[in-house]
Amino acid sequence: MADAGIAVSQKEEAGTLTRADLADVVHAKLGLSRAESATLVERILFHMCHSLSEGENVKISGFGSFILRDKGERIGRNPKTGVEVPIAPRRVMTFRASQIMRDKIAG
């Protein structure tokens, strides 16, 4: 268990990448201003969100696919009270990583 804990903390050293870091990537690559770089990152996310919210899957070759799935209604249960509640049909989004990404991450 102690070993696992150490492994986890080493893994966490890489930290979390955010929009700001992605904007830095754009800034370094194209030399756009910080503000424009941030806008470009935002526009990419906007177009991805937009397609998905219109019911369209998004496939980025070499990276992966964001796939929409429609779930039927089912009976759920409040885990605290045990009361059964119907869960309405809904659309969910899943990500399927490309083989290239899987290979890089499997290590």
6 contacts: CB under 8 Å, gap ≥ 6: none
CB of 18 to other proteins, least distance (A): 6
Which of positions 35-64 make contact with other proteins (CB under 8 A)?
A: 36, 40-41, 43-45, 47-49, 51-64
Comparison of 61 and 78: residue with beta carbon closer to other proteins = 61
# of chain residues touching other proteins (CB under 8 A): 56
72 contacts: CB under 8 Å, gap ≥ 6: 89
**Cα angle 94-46-95, degrees, rounded to a multiple of 5:** 10
Joined together, the tokens standing for residue 38 give: 């941030």
Comparison of 63 and 77: residue with beta carbon closer to other proteins = 63
Contact status, residue 101 vs residue 63, Cβ threshold 8 Å: yes
Interface contacts to other proteins, rule CB under 8 A? 10-19, 21-22, 25-26, 29-30, 36, 40-41, 43-45, 47-49, 51-64, 66, 68, 70, 90-95, 97, 100-102, 104-107
